[in-house]
A and B are shown apart, each in its own frame.
Chain A
Amino acid sequence: MDLARRMFMGQLARFTAGASLVPLATVAEAAINEQPPRRGGDPAKRYAMLIDLRRCIGCQACTVSCHLENDAPLGKFRTIVSQYEVDDPETGDMSTFFLPRLCNHCDNPPCVPVCPVQATYQQEDGIVVVDAERCVGCAYCVQACPYDARFINDKTQTADKCTFCTHRLEAGLLPACVESCVGGARIIGDLNDPESTISKMVAEHHGELKVLQPEKGTSPHVFYLGMDERFIDRPEAFASIWDIHGKDNEELHYEFSGH
C-alpha cells in the first residue's frame, strides 16, 4: 500500500514537474536578444568564406554575377567590392585597395534575434537566411546588421541578403561570386572538414586573417587575407564619389542611388 502510494506520488511529481517544465522550455529557448536555436541545413558542416585580398582586382564580376543569379533590384547589392585610394604609410605612394563585402554569416548574427517573426534564421551549417514568405518587411534586421549586408528588396518588399547561394551549394555548385571571381580570391568551404581548402588556408594563415568590426562580438565567418587595418572598422575616408555636385550645387547621383 505504502509502496503503491509512493510510486503514485512519484509518478505524479514527475508528471507535474514535466508539465511545468515543458512550456517553460519552449518559451525560454533564448533570452531577449540572444540567439535562438539554429534550424535546417547540414549540422555536420560550418560554411565560411575566405577572401584573399591580394588576388582581388576589383573587377566587380562577383557583384554582377550575384546580381544576375539572385535577381537583386538595381542599386542594392548582396555583394559589392568597395574601392579606395590609400596612401602607403611608409612611402606615401597612393595605391588602390579593394574590399569585397557580403554577409559575414556571423556565429553570433545580430540580425537573427531581432526578427519578430523568426523569418530570418541561422541554419545549422552557419548560413543565415530569410524566409521571404514569412518576412513582414519591418527592416529591423537591416538596422541590426553592422555590415550593411541586408536591404529591403523593392520587388518583394521583404528583407534580402547574401545566402552563400545555398541553392547552388545544395546542387553541388559554387556560389555565383566564387564561380565568377577571375582572380580566385574567394574561397568557400566547410570549416568542419579539415581537408577543405578553406580549413587548410585558415590553418596556414591563422595569424594574418582579419574580420570586419570584431569588437561588435558578432564573430564573422568571412575572413580576409591581406587586409589593411584601416578598413576593419568604418574607414576614416573622404567620400569622393558623393562629393560631385552639379552647377546648382545639387548632388549628382549615380544612376542607381535614387531609391
Chain B
Amino acid sequence: MNSAVIEILAPRYQIAWYPWAVQYFFMIALAYASLWLALPGLLGAARWKATARFAMLGAMTTAIVAPIALLADLHQPLRFWHFYAYFTPWSWMSIGSLMLPPFVFAIIALAWLVWREPMLVWRQRGDLFGMIARLVTLGSWQTPRLLVVTLALATTALSLGIAVYTGSEVAIVKGRPLWNTVWLLPFFATTGLIGAGGLVLLLSRIAGPRDPDTARNMLWVVSAAAVATAGVALMWVLEGLYMENSSVAAALRSVRHSAEWRSTSAWGLGVGTALTLGCLLLLWRKPQRGWSWIVGLVALHLAWMARWVVLMDVQTVQKQTAGYLEYTVGWGSSGWLGVVGTFGLWIALILVIDMLVPWRGALGGTAADAPDTTPDYSAKGAASHG
C-alpha cells in the first residue's frame, strides 16, 4: 500500500458480460430451484402438490426464457452452433452448452406430462382451446405415474448438473478474484432457492388458487435458504480469515475503498435479514399470511440482486489498474431493454400457458372449466390436499 502512487494514464476496461448474463443466471437458477420445489409434489407428497403446480409453471417458463437471454449475451449469437460443432470438454461453458438443451427439453416434457392430464378434459371442447388440447395431449391415454416420477428424477439429476456448471463456470475465473471461490456454487443455489420460493409465493397470490400449505412450505423454504445463504457467506469470510483466499481479500478491498460497495453490502445484508424475519413473522402469525406475496417479491429481488452484484458489479472492479469502472446501464438491448425484454417475454409466456393450459388442475388440483372464466378463489386451493 502506497498512497503516493497516482495513475496518470490508463484505459478504463469495459464490462464484457452484459445484463443479459444476469438474466440468464437468474432465470436458470429459478428454473432448477423451482424444479426442486416441485419435486416432492411430483413424487406424491400430498401437502406439496399445490406447491408443485405453481413451481412447475415457474420452472417451465424460466427454463424457456433463460437460454434466450444467454444467446443474447453472445456477441455473435448466430454462431451458437459452433458450441456443438466444436465441443470442448475442458471448458465449463462448453460442458454447460451440452447440458442446457437436455435440461430445458426435460422440463418441457415433464410439464407436458403433468399438464396433459387436466388438458384431457378440454379435448371434448368444440372451441380453439379444445383443438389445441387435442393436438397437444397426443391421444387420450392416461399419463402413467411411473413415467412422471422417472422423468422428474431424471430432470432433477440434470438440474444438479446445471447448478454445478453455472457455479463452476464463474468460480474458476482467477482473473476476477471476487469470483474465484468455491463458495459461489452453493451461493448461486441457495439464492436460487430464495428466488424460486418467492416466485411460488407470488404466483400463488396472483394466479391462485391460494393454498395454505404452499404459503407455509414456501415461507419455510425461503427462510431456510436465506439462513443457508448467510451460512455460505460466513464460511467464505471465515475461509478468507483463516486461509489464503484472494476472493475475500479482494472483497474487503472493494468494500474498504468504495462507498458504492459498502452500500451494496449493507443493502444485501439488510434485505436478507428483513426477508428472514418477515418469513418467520408470517409463519408465527398465521392470519397475516395473506401478505406472503410481499415476501415473495422481496425474495425475487434478493435473488436477482445477488446475481447483479456478482456478475455486473464485480466487473467494475478493475483487474490491474486503479479504481472502478463507473458503469451505467444503457437503455439499449445490452442494457435495460434486455432486462425488461426478458421479463416481458417471461410474463407473456406465463400468460399464454395460463390461457392454453388448465395447469391448476394438474396433480389432482381443481381446474377452472373454461379459460375465460375467472378462477374460483373461494375454493382456497384443493381441499383434498389440506
Contact = CB atoms under 8 A, between A and B. Distances in A.
B17 A143 contact: yes
B86 A82 contact: no
Contact of A135 (B4, B76, B85, B174): B76
A114 interface: yes
A75 B13 CA distance: 9
A138 interface: yes
Contacts of B16: 139, 142-143, 151-152
A236 B86 contact: no
Interface string A159-191: 000000000000000000000000000000000
Contacts of A32: 89-92, 95, 168
A28 B169 CA distance: 19
Q: Secondary structure at chain A's binding surface: helix, strand, loop or mixed?
A: loop
Contacts of A151: 13-14, 16
B3 interface: yes
B97 A240 contact: no
B83 A117 contact: yes
Interface string B66-85: 00000001111001101101
B103 to A, nearest CB: 17
A84 B7 contact: yes
Given A33-B172, A36-B90, A147-B320, A116 B97 contact: yes
B92 A84 contact: no
Contact of B94 (A117, A212, A242): A117
Contact of A29 (B6, B90, B92, B321): B90
Given A116-B83, A239-B322, A86 B93 contact: no
A82 B9 contact: yes
A89 B91 CA distance: 45
B352 interface: no
A119 B76 CA distance: 13
A238 B257 CA distance: 11
Given A145-B175, A147-B320, A234-B320, A117 B7 contact: no
Contacts of B83: 116-117, 136
Interface residues of B, number: 50
Contacts of B174: 110, 144, 146, 216-217
B126 interface: no
Contacts of B12: 242, 257
A251 interface: yes
Contact of A82 (B7, B168, B172): B7
Nearest to A236: B1
Q: Secondary structure at chain B's binding surface: helix, strand, loop or mixed?
A: loop
B173 interface: yes
A85 B10 CA distance: 12
A229 to B, nearest CB: 10
Contacts of A77: 11
B89 A27 contact: yes
Nearest to A113: B90
Interface string B83-111: 10110111111110100000000000000
A146 B175 contact: yes
**Which among B13, B86, B322 has the highest number of chain A CB atoms within 10 Å?**
B322
Nearest to A152: B75
Contacts of A234: 318-322
Contacts of B231: none
A30 B90 CA distance: 6
B10 A83 contact: yes
Interface string B1-36: 111111111111110110000000000000000000
Contacts of B92: 32-33, 114
Contact of B6 (A34, A81, A240, A251): A240
Interface in A227-256: 230, 233-242, 251, 256
B44 interface: no
Given A117-B82, A140-B93, A143-B17, A238 B175 contact: no
B75 A235 contact: no
A122 interface: no
What are the nearest 10 A-B pairs in CB distance?
A137-B75, A239-B323, A139-B16, A116-B94, A239-B322, A83-B9, A116-B93, A237-B322, A87-B4, A142-B16
13 contacts: A32-B89, A84-B5, A86-B5, A87-B4, A110-B174, A114-B172, A116-B91, A117-B86, A117-B94, A119-B86, A136-B79, A148-B13, A157-B75
Given A148-B13, A151-B13, 14 more contacts: A27-B89, A32-B91, A33-B92, A34-B90, A36-B88, A83-B9, A113-B90, A118-B86, A146-B320, A157-B75, A234-B321, A235-B5, A239-B7, A240-B6
